[in-house]
Amino acid sequence: MTKKESYGAEAENNNFENPSKENTVLNAKASDSDDFVEFSTKERYIQKYGIDPTKTPVFISYNAYRRIVGYAMRYGNDDLPQRNWREVYGILIGSIKDNKDVIIKDAIPVMVGGRAYVEYKSKHYVDTAEFNTAIYERAIQDNKEDFFVGWWHTHPGIGFIFSPRDIETQLFYQGVNPYAIALVFDHCQKGSKRNYLGVAGIRLNNPDRGMFATYSNAIKLKCEFTKEEMVQKVEKDVKEINKSIKHTLKQIEYIDEILRKKALAQLQRNFGLIMVLKRDIKITADEEEAEEDDYFLYEWDPDIDKKIYRIPKFREKIEKELKKYEDILIEIKKTDQAANYKKKKEKFSKKIKEMLQKPNDFYKKIIKDFTKRIEIISPLYDYLDTDERKIIEHFEGRSSEYQKVLDDLNARSEFNL
């Protein structure tokens, strides 16, 4: 591929970053309701646009290519014994230009599997759904039309074939979007004459045949730079990733084992602020098993939090003190005793702040440590998968929960009635 043919030149001329709304596949409509044909039927596109979506070319940004190779090479490379090679899986983000060009702008790692398969778990579905929502919101904000344009996975040393499980996965994507593409990366093929990037684009030729569909692994791929530049740049970047990835993963392990399971747990035990699940609640998915008092598990109840959760003793103590002092100050305020009100306010404020001093100090210490770890993780965040990201997100969620209550109590300790 010459520089003139590269995606960068095409993007400049055809404005791939901002495809028009009337041309994108997401907004493709029949001329009237009588002409409606199911979205996923490729014949509709052939008839309407004279284009077979299963044969449309794919443009790969360097950003997407780097994330694929950067994550994949953690689990399949020439320095690892072949028996330890493992497949990985991810999703592709991009858009469609003029109903004929698929533009891949990003490739998000999701999970690592076994030697020849990847097993999707519930947490991965949740992560993918969250990505889908985030992508939609960002697209609205930036006036773009990015969405899931396909998926990618690796076949280390296996080549560019589709297993029955791969066909099933591609049916899911291509059934919704006939342009959907699967990218397969095999590091053993990188630098080869036919697949210099180590990547092949694959689509089902006849998805209407379901699991009996055939596939093509010769979809035309174009890239942001020449293929030689893409490989040269990614090899340099992968070296940097490999230098730091072990240290990065140690920080994630530290966040999980030390900060979450020990420090944050100890903070909650000593100075509990986050609502705690009641031990005596029976949770069941079978309505017939549920006792009469448990029907709030199935029917909306505005007081459900009170029934399922309890307030920790430390927070309960603080809340009672705050309420007592607030009531006293309100009564003093009614009598218009300004000097007495100010004196009492300062006294009560000091008492509450003393009670909150230890949790404030403890929390700040934990967050300072967490921030230090995140600074190390941040440069390689793009090459983390769902399991690794979830550790960080879970800690952030729990610590934010604690901080929200703590900030509220700190504010109330000022007694600005």
Per-residue CA distances from 227 to 74, 79, 222 (Å) = 22, 24, 8
Strand partners, 34: none
CA distance 109 to 47: 36
**At residue 102, does pLDDT exceed 90?**
yes
Is residue 135 within 8 A of residue 165, CB to CB? The reply is no
Summarised one tens digit per residue, pLDDT across range 319-358 is 999 999 999 999 998 887 888 889 999 999 999 999 999 9
What integer is the mean pLDDT of 364-386?
96
Its sign, for the CA torsion 339, 342, 346, 347, is: positive
pLDDT digits (tens, 9 = 90+) for 118-141: 555 555 555 666 666 666 566 556
Instruction: Give the model's confidence band at 39: pLDDT under 50 very low, under 70 low, under 90 confident, else very high.
Output: very low
What percent of the chain has pLDDT above 70? Answer: 74
Cα distances (Å, whole numbers) of residue 309 to 279, 295, 318: 9, 16, 18
Residue that has been written with the tokens 């009996």 in this structure = 212
* Residue 31 pLDDT grade (very low, low, confident, very high; cuts 50, 70, 90): very low
Task: Considering only residues 12 and 363, tell me which one the structure prediction assigns the higher pLDDT.
Answer: 363
Q: What's this model's pTM, rounded to 2 decimal places?
A: 0.76
**pLDDT, tens digit, 9 for 90 and up, residues 43-75:** 776 767 677 888 899 999 999 999 999 999 999
Give just the sign of the alpha carbon dihedral 38, 42, 44, 48.
positive
Contact 66, 383 (CB under 8 A): no
List, for residues 141-199, the tens digit of each pLDDT value. Answer: 666 678 889 999 999 999 999 999 999 999 989 988 899 999 999 999 999 999 999 99
Three-class secondary structure of residue 116 per DSSP? coil
**What are the C-alpha distances in Å from 176 to residues 58, 95, 134, 179, 270?**
18, 14, 19, 9, 51
Provide the 10 A C-beta neighbour count for residue 329. 18
Model confidence at 27, pLDDT cuts 50, 70, 90, reads very low
Give ∠ CA 251-256-262 in degrees, rounded to 5.
115
What average pLDDT is seen over the chain?
A: 81
Residue 4 is given by DSSP the state G
**Residue 302: exposure state from Cβ atoms within 10 A (0-12, 13-18, ≥19):** exposed
CA 27 to chain centre: 25
Angstrom distance (rounded) from CA 150 to CA 203:
10
What domains lie within the chain, and their CATH numbers?
3-225 (3.40.140.10), 247-275+311-412 (no CATH)
CA angle 102, 108, 111 (to 5 degrees): 130
Locus of tokens 């007694």: 415
278 has pLDDT over 50: yes
pLDDT at position 69, please? 97
Between the alpha carbon of residue 138 and those of residues 16, 73, 142, 147, 328, the distances in Å are 17, 29, 6, 10, 49
